[in-house]
Amino acid sequence: MGQIEWAMWANEQALAAGLIMLTGGIVAVAGQFKGWYFAAYAIVAGVLVCLLEYPRSKRIKGSTMERCGQKYLTAVVKLFGPLTRNYYIRAVLHAALAVPAGFLLSTILGTVCLAIASGIYLLAAVRGEEWRPIEQKPRERPHMGDTIKQPPSNPPPRPPAEARRKQPPEAGGQVNPIPVEAE
Amino acid sequence: MALSWRSWLANEGSKHLFLFFWLSLNVWFFGKTFLLYYQGLQYYYLHQMLGLGLCVSRASASVLNLNCCLVLLPMCRVLLAFLRGSQRVASRKTRRLLDKSKTFHVTCGVTICIFSVLHVAAHLVNALNFSENYNEDFPAINAANYRGEDPRKLLFATVPGLTGVIMVLVLFLMCTASTYAIRVSNYDIFWYTHNLFFVFYILLMLHVSGGVLKYQTNLEEHPPGCFNPNKTLRQNMTMPKAFEELFPDYTTECFPQDLPVPEPFVQNNLMRICSEEPKFQSHFPETWLWISGPLCLYCVERLYRYIRSNKPVTITSVISHPSNVLEVRMVKDDFKARPGQYVILHCPRVSTLESHPFTLTMCPTDTKATFGVHLKVVGDWTERFRDLLLLHSNQDAEILPIFQQRRYPNDDWKCYKLRRLYFVWVCRDVESFRWFADLLCMLHNKLWQENRPDYINIQLYLSQTDGIQKIIGEKYQALNSRLLIGRPRWKLLFDEIAKCNRRKTIGVFCCGPNKISKILHKLSNSSNSYGTRFEYNKESFS
């Protein structure tokens, strides 16, 4: 369990919770339930949470799967610097956003889910995780000229480069200690 | 690429047919239950109180029953492997359908999530209606204690309500941890949260034992909507509209809802007089019948796997290959395996809870009981395992990994009368080919001696290159000449194979990342001018 990145799971949960809150809010506003202003708040909070959580953070080791079109939101989220980078702040923010939606029946599920996400973010923050933006790698144009450094010095036939070197070709080579049999 | 109907039918036909059958079953259950509660006489008063919320919640509950039952079955892997390997399942089509068990499990899981949302929403509306439309005439039918009781009390202070809420939270945790991104990056989170399914099922059994919704038992003596002359007519008295027209003097004001009048009542056109008060009774929890079977089956299977895995295995040798790959050879009593199967290794000294699957790279034969796996050191478990084997190899028997053998379905190649084998292997690093270079060369030589040089066609591709000519090693001349730089051009490869094997059926077996899999799948379904058919098979662990 050593290398679990809790923030990634918290991110999925927060995104789902934002959507749940948004849906509950829309239903309550459309049905004009009692206390529908809580629902209006839930819609705004849901949208905010979704926008904040949409860009996935870069993993510590390995490649990260980006969400479709997340680079635009990454640029925006990056602007807030430590406010969005630090997971303690995110945990507190989600907990605070979750509370008002708890007063209406249709958004109460969103509240609980967001609270769970906030808890997992706290765990991630305690373990020192941080939000890192996924940068776009500049596409390297294949340089055609690089491999051609100098014209060959020997006339043909020319053995491959490895044979020309005096050292053994298989440095640290593979010698199977146990013979392989094909059956 | 034009679609070939024959290929598409061979690859997708039975899958889609099965899916259609499952979908029809769901629609039928939903529709049947919906109509039962919408029109059934025994639910007349309940429907009047709750409205459409009753019908939607019960209909979605019946779909949930079906899917909670079905979702466990594809995970009984020992049973499925037994079915797949036995003579009874002779058809290749059925075997390939059984291969799709994980996809079916995911489909049922997604359905459970969607219908849970519907079910919860409908019950929230029901809670509100139980509270507002409290029925003073027939108090037995109510879930609330008085009119206007806080619906939140109904949700959180009753057994069905509380269990329902906790189940939703468990489902939320399981669902968010099961996304593809999480499975690929942090499989542990997925595995541990998914084992909460047991809590979910226990809560489900408690959830349905509440008996909140009741049906009327004495329909003969008290046809719903009948006239009770002893009772004074109050505002919420049930009076169908047809009644109002017949007896305007006896009716009161508005009828709360425009309900369909029960058919027999209208047809008889009689004023039925109630001989007694309606009696209500809770349902027997049907869900227990649905889920107890699969749950017991799955628990038995897990127990069986656990018991069988308690016999340790002896490691005979550990070989270190380039590019961070380790080959581990082992022996175990009474172990039989076929090529294409995988085993799950569990080493308590590395991690008490984790276990990981590895495809067998060497199977035990009649003459030699050793079997082996190649494992690539990628994450913390494999790192610790390698350190344990290589650095602390002087320590004794405690290291023996306890291991589980599973029969993984992809030994399908036996169904094809193998005439020719095309082996296409794509690696990033040229050193990686050394993992099996000896074996390939030996095989090539053996077939050459037997005068069957074209039985195996080996093609090795190096996908990442820095421009310098690479060879695998001086002694692997057979492989060096078959090493190609760059990614394979699948369309050309398929065309060439189709041309050389006209009108035959070719099995395509892919083990690799999703992108390659998608391309190969599409190519297997597309048409070619030689009448060759490609059947697509895939193996993936995540």
Chain A contact set for B177 (CB, 8 A): 9, 12
If chain B, 542 residues long, is cut into consecutive pieces of 10 residues, what is the mean pLDDT of each piece? 78 91 96 94 88 93 96 91 73 82 93 94 88 84 84 86 93 93 86 93 93 85 76 49 48 47 49 78 90 95 86 87 89 82 84 83 88 88 88 56 52 69 90 88 91 90 80 84 90 92 89 89 89 86 66
Q: Give the helix/strand (H/E) hosting B372.
A: strand B371-376
Quote the tokens at residue B348.
């308590």
Residue A51 has φ and ψ, to the nearest 5°, of: -65, -40
Contacting B with CB below 8 Å, chain A residues are 1-6, 8-9, 12-13, 16, 27, 56, 59, 62, 64-65, 105-106, 109, 112-113, 116, 146-147, 160-162, 169-170, 172-174, 176-178, 180-183
Return the percent helix, strand and coil in chain A, to nearest 5.
Answer: 55, 0, 45
Inform me whether the pLDDT recorded for A21 exceeds 90. yes
pLDDT, tens digit, for every residue of B52-110? 999 999 999 999 999 999 999 999 988 888 888 776 666 778 888 888 889 999 999 99
Pairwise CB contact (< 8 Å): A12 & B182: yes
Q: How far apart are the first and last CA of chain B?
A: 29
pLDDT, tens digit, for every residue of A124-156? 999 988 888 888 777 666 655 555 667 767 677
Q: How far apart are the first and last CA of chain A?
A: 40
Q: What is the DSSP letter of B254?
A: -
Q: What is the DSSP letter of B398?
A: G
Q: What is the spatial distance between Cα B62 and Cα B54, in angstroms, rounded to a whole number?
A: 12
Pairwise CB contact (< 8 Å): A12 & B177: yes
Which residue does chain A place closest to B378, by CA atoms?
A62
* Residue A134 confidence (pLDDT): 85
CB atoms within 10 A of CB B267: 9
Chain A contact set for B352 (CB, 8 A): none
Pairwise CB contact (< 8 Å): A174 & B124: no
Which residue does chain B place closest to A13, by CA atoms?
B176
Partner A contacted by B139 (CB < 8 A): no
Pairwise CB contact (< 8 Å): A170 & B188: no
Instruction: Please report the DSSP string for A56-77 in residue order.
Output: PPPPSSS--PPPTTHHHHHHHH
Chain A contact set for B354 (CB, 8 A): 1
Which residue does chain A place closest to B351, by CA atoms?
A1
Report the mean per-residue pLDDT for chain A.
82
* Residue A30 confidence (pLDDT): 84
**DSSP H helical segments within A31-104, as ranges?**
36-53, 70-79, 82-85, 87-98
Residue B138 CB contacts under 8 Å (≥ 6 apart), including other chains: B45, B277, B278, B280
Residue B183 has φ and ψ, to the nearest 5°, of: -65, -35
Give the residue from B402, B316, B405 showing the smallest Cα distance to B358. B405
* Residue A173 confidence (pLDDT): 53
Amino acid at A90: R
* Residue B250 confidence (pLDDT): 44
Sign of torsion, CA B96 B101 B106 B108? positive
Percentage of chain B modeled with pLDDT above 70: 86
Q: What is the spatial distance between Cα B523 and Cα B493, in angstroms, rounded to a whole number?
A: 10
Partner A contacted by B151 (CB < 8 A): yes
Alpha carbon of A1: minimum distance to chain B alpha carbons (Å): 7
Inform me whether the pLDDT recorded for A170 exceeds 70. no
Chain A contact set for B438 (CB, 8 A): 176, 180
Q: Are B171 and B112 in contact (CB under 8 A)?
A: yes
Alpha carbon of A80: minimum distance to chain B alpha carbons (Å): 25
